[in-house]
Amino acid sequence: MSPISITVFDAETGTTSEYSFSKSPIRIGRNPLNDLSLPFPFVSGWHAIVRFDDETARFFDLGSTNGTLLDGRRVQAGEPVDIGAMLSVTIGRLELRLSKAGEHAGVPAGMPAPAGPSASPWATTPAPSAVQPTAAWAVVGAIDPARAGARQTAAAPAGTAHVPMHEIHDAVTGLRPAVEQFRRAWSTVMTAMHHTLSSMDGGTRQFALSVFQREFPELEREPEFAQVLAQAGVASAPKPAAPAGARAGGGDLGNVARLAEAVRPGEEPPRTPEEASRFLRCVEDVLRASAKAFVELQKGQEQFGNEMGVRTIKEFTPLHAAGTAENVLKYLLDWQVGGPHRTQELVGVYADLMIHQVALINGVLEGARGLLARLDPGAIERQVTAAWPTRGAALWKQYMQRHRELLESDRLLTEAMFGPEFARAYAEVGGEGN
Which pLDDT belongs to residue 320? 72
Model pTM greater than 0.85? no
Which pLDDT belongs to residue 366? 72
Contact 124, 1 (CB under 8 A): no
Which pLDDT belongs to residue 241? 43
Which pLDDT belongs to residue 313? 65
Taking only the tens place, the pLDDT of each residue in 306-356 is 766 666 666 667 777 788 888 888 888 887 777 777 777 787 777 777 676
Q: How many helices (H) and strands (E) does the chain have?
A: 14, 12
Which pLDDT belongs to residue 36? 93
Q: What residues have CB less than 8 Å from 19, skipping those under 6 apart?
A: 5, 6, 7, 8, 36, 131, 132, 133, 134, 145, 150
How many alpha carbons fall within 13 Å on the CB side of residue 270?
A: 24
Taking only the tens place, the pLDDT of each residue in 101-139 is 755 444 443 344 443 333 333 333 333 343 444 433 333
The DSSP output letter for 272 is S
Mean pLDDT, the chain, integer:
73
CA–CA separation, 40 and 1 (whole Å): 31
> What's the distance, CA 68 to chain centroid?
24
Start-to-end Cα distance in the chain? 42
Q: How many CB atoms lie within 10 A of CB 294?
A: 21
Write phi, then psi, for 185 (nearest 5 degrees): -65, -40
Structural domains present in the chain? 4-148 (2.60.200.20), 165-232 (no CATH), 286-434 (no CATH)
Q: What residues have CB less than 8 Å from 344, skipping those under 6 apart?
A: none
Indicate the SS3 state at residue 180. helix
Which pLDDT belongs to residue 183? 84
